[in-house]
Structure 1
Amino acid sequence: MKGCEMFYDDLPRLTVFGDVADLGHYTPLPEDWVVGVSDIVGSTDAVAAGKYKTVNMIGAAVISAQINTAGGRAFPYVFGGDGAAFAHPPEFAAEAAQALGAVQAWAQAEFGMGLRVGLYSVADIRAAGLDVAVARYAVSEGVDYAMFAGGGVSWAEAQMKAGAETVPPVPAGTQPDLTGLSCRWSHMKARNGTILSLLLSPEDGVEPDRFGTVVEAVLAEVAHLERGGHPAPPEGPGTGWPPAGATLEAHASHGGRGVAARKRQVLFETLIAWILIKTGIKLGGFDPTHYRRTVGGNADFRKFDDGLKMTIDCDAGTVSRLRSVLEDARADGIARYGIHTQDEAMMTCIVPSIMDDTHVHFIDGAAGGYTQASVELKSG
């Protein structure tokens, strides 16, 4: 097996999204790696109360804390709306657990929201008869996202929700390092009529090739959409001032210095950014037009995480045809699915620096998105 740090670095980058349906493009994780998972308690109720931006922020915070703890080391992770998953080599398991615990404590202290967390070994996942395999899909020259297959991440999530606690609690007041976490962009209105959030998962015991055929059929139905249904316009998302997420960003980045003071700083920073983006004026090597366009290009509006997840901008005809494909797959016992429609998409970002093109952006529906789609998936 390859050295721990070289394993993920050496994986090839896929450039055609349709290739993620082919398990031949995935590589099993080393036996001694660990898989981390998280899930917000009561996320459906939080969405009903209008707190979906908070839900997304906490889900992205899990990834942000892991990125900052890793200190520039690449590792696989995936955003799921009200949670996230990731994997690390064994020598980083302790610090990964510490970062998970810190986000759990922060979510409770800042928002009064419970966060389930768990860290499980790949060896235990395989002993349960499942696997964790990964691929890397490049959305742009600067950014790629991990894709997960094998059922192991779903197994870990089930263990976590069943109460198999594996992450020790951290001292009260522990602050995670959420440097770069923000939500400054405006919601992206549907240009074709509907923002559709879709979850598609294989039924237990279904052969991967049969499920892959359904994924291919779904992707074929959206292939005619501009840029595959990307919710962000080609020029990038819009922005307003003051940004709706200023308070959330202040909760993420005050570092114990006080939310109010940090919010004033966020408002000042975003005012400058808003002026630059609106005018297109370059400042100190920062090109706002290039940055805005890159934001859209780097976003993860579709992914594979033991199943297909997409938030796309589409028309009513596409929604109808997708339902037909999905219903056939459910009737044939191949897959379960959940969908949720809304008028807008939203974006949560991790931007260590605005001076390069490696910033990452997580897209979800703005009125429930993946969380609401999962309700239908569970009841399927």
Structure 2
Amino acid sequence: MKTADIGFYGRVPITRDFLALSDPEQFTPVPDDWIVGVADIVDSTGEIARGRYKTVNMVGAAVISGMINALGGRVFPYVFGGDGAGFAIPKDDADMARDTLAALRSWAETEFGIALRAALVPVSDVRSKGHDLRVARYAPSSGVDYAMFTGGGLAWAEAQMKAGRYEVPPAGSDAQPDLTGLSCRWSNSPARHGQIVSLVIQPTAQATERDFADLAQSVLSASEALERAGHPVPAGGPPIKWPPPGLALDAHVSRAGRNLAVRKAALLVQNLLIWLLFKSGKRLGEFEPGHYKNMVSRNADFRKFDDGLKMTLDCDDETLSRIARTLEDARGRGKIRYGIHSQQEAMMTCFVPAATRDDHVHFVDGASGGYAQAAAAMQG
């Protein structure tokens, strides 16, 4: 993705210190004339119960992939939520965003039978209702950085979308968003320290920004004691197998209206070559398999601020108990709502503009419900 950008987001400072982002002073107000985009899957818990969470993740990530491609690689703030996504764009890009979201809604229904809803909300409307939208940039590596949101504006926009306001209607049934680079060929990463824990923590109206900052700092400090701060993807990258478990899903995503069986066959051959390349570890032109796998792990977004704090952790029982006690105490004081969901594996959905560069993006979630199940279990 292009790093040069003369606009607002290109000037937002980038930090490598995730713990520093618990401080609200690290966030910059999004311009009043910008637009917030939100999308999520209707009845994602039902889709999970039907064993379709990998598909749910892929459709959620498709929102980001579609927007990145529509913007021609220009940097903009976005966040992946498991069963959906949020982003902010300049007002001049509103028509393009509307067309992209409309195509995504139709594509999700046609390709997967999934109901995706979407909305575009002016930031000025967010602020007129007493909320805010502020953003920070966190770089887990030298290759990528991810947006972090605070202020309550993104959550308010999502609530408006679910209430049927600011809707972006679907396009025609043959609409095809550009999802080039979106894939899921990695196998799941098993827990190495007990369990993969999905955490969703949100402040209540009774909590001040300082209240939530202190709580986030406590939770993050506990997770820092875990190996690699609880990173659920091995340092050398996730497992890769042939045939890949997500082959059929990749075929649906990349076929762009072409014959599905032909696309599956082409991907089967392509992934065999990729598997052999990773198995041998041999360099091919500018592509170095070992370096790529290391960057996959380093680039993964296993924790984020998204009008709250979300994390996917490889966590032992003792640390989880410590975090749960901290959260329950804050909930008892009326300061937060939270949800926890445990599973045995983490999964990843990827956006790879070019395999020879380090700016490939990897969205991490729990493999059996993850953030969506944690959100459904929220207490407070």
Structure 2 residue 81 is matched with structure 1 residue 80: yes
Structure 2 residue 281 is matched with structure 1 residue 280: yes
The alpha carbon displacement at 1:20 in A equals 1.3
Number of aligned positions between the proteins: 376
Q: Distance in 1 between matches of 2:195 and 2:335?
A: 26
User: 2:354 is matched with which residue?
Assistant: 353
User: Which structure 2 residues correspond to residues 119-158 of structure 1 after superposition, within 5 A?
Assistant: 119-158=120-159
The alpha carbon displacement at 1:68 in A equals 0.2
Structure 2 residue 371 is matched with structure 1 residue 370: yes
What amino acid is the match of 1:293? N
What amino acid is the match of 1:226? E
User: 1:42 is matched with which residue?
Assistant: 43
Q: Distance in 1 between matches of 2:29 and 2:49?
A: 38
The alpha carbon displacement at 1:168 in A equals 3.3
The alpha carbon displacement at 1:6 in A equals 1.9
* Structure 1, unpaired ranges of 5+: none
What amino acid is the match of 2:15? L
Structure 2 residue 156 is matched with structure 1 residue 177: no
What amino acid is the match of 2:209? P
Q: Distance in 1 between matches of 2:372 and 2:190?
A: 19
User: 2:168 is matched with which residue?
Assistant: 167
User: 2:210 is matched with which residue?
Assistant: 209
User: 1:246 is matched with which residue?
Assistant: 247
Q: Distance in 2 between matches of 1:20 and 1:177?
A: 33
Q: Distance in 1 between matches of 2:164 and 2:121?
A: 13
1:116-156 C-alpha deviation (Å, 9 max, x unpaired): 10000000000011011000000100100000000000000
User: 2:220 is matched with which residue?
Assistant: 219
SS at match of 2:7: helix
1:13-71 C-alpha deviation (Å, 9 max, x unpaired): 11111111111010000011000001101100111111000000000000000000010
The alpha carbon displacement at 1:5 in A equals 4.5
Q: Distance in 2 between matches of 1:127 and 1:268?
A: 54
* TM-score, normalised via structure 2 length: 0.97
Q: Distance in 2 between matches of 1:259 and 1:22?
A: 48
* Structure 2, unpaired ranges of 5+: none
The alpha carbon displacement at 1:169 in A equals 2.7
The alpha carbon displacement at 1:166 in A equals 2.9
* TM-score, normalised via structure 1 length: 0.97
What amino acid is the match of 2:109? Q
Q: Distance in 2 between matches of 1:168 and 1:338?
A: 31
1:317-342 C-alpha deviation (Å, 9 max, x unpaired): 11111110000010011111000000
Structure 2 residue 25 is matched with structure 1 residue 16: no
User: 1:92 is matched with which residue?
Assistant: 93
Q: Distance in 1 between matches of 2:137 and 2:366?
A: 24
Residues 103/274 of structure 1: CA separation in 2 closer, same or farther (3 Å cut)? same
User: 2:266 is matched with which residue?
Assistant: 265
Higher mean displacement: 28-37 or 218-227: 218-227
Q: Distance in 1 between matches of 2:33 and 2:192?
A: 46
Q: Distance in 2 between matches of 1:36 and 1:205?
A: 27
SS at match of 2:201: strand
Q: Distance in 2 between matches of 1:42 and 1:202?
A: 24
Percent identity reads 55
**Do the aligned partners of 1:5 and 1:89 also contact (CA within 8 Å) in 2?**
no
The alpha carbon displacement at 1:72 in A equals 1.6
SS at match of 2:58: helix
SS at match of 1:6: coil
User: 1:255 is matched with which residue?
Assistant: 256
Q: Distance in 1 between matches of 2:6 and 2:309?
A: 27
Q: Distance in 2 between matches of 1:176 and 1:375?
A: 29
User: 1:32 is matched with which residue?
Assistant: 33
Q: Distance in 1 between matches of 2:237 and 2:170?
A: 40
Q: Distance in 2 between matches of 1:205 and 1:85?
A: 25
User: 1:69 is matched with which residue?
Assistant: 70
User: 1:60 is matched with which residue?
Assistant: 61
**Do the aligned partners of 2:121 and 2:166 also contact (CA within 8 Å) in 1?**
no
Q: Distance in 2 between matches of 1:143 and 1:74?
A: 11
Q: Distance in 1 between matches of 2:235 and 2:111?
A: 35
User: 1:237 is matched with which residue?
Assistant: 238
1:275-311 C-alpha deviation (Å, 9 max, x unpaired): 1111101112210111011001000000000000000
**Do the aligned partners of 1:32 and 1:122 also contact (CA within 8 Å) in 2?**
yes
**Do the aligned partners of 1:200 and 1:307 also contact (CA within 8 Å) in 2?**
yes
User: Which structure 2 residues correspond to residues 275-354 of structure 1 after superposition, within 5 A?
Assistant: 275-354=276-355
The alpha carbon displacement at 1:211 in A equals 0.8
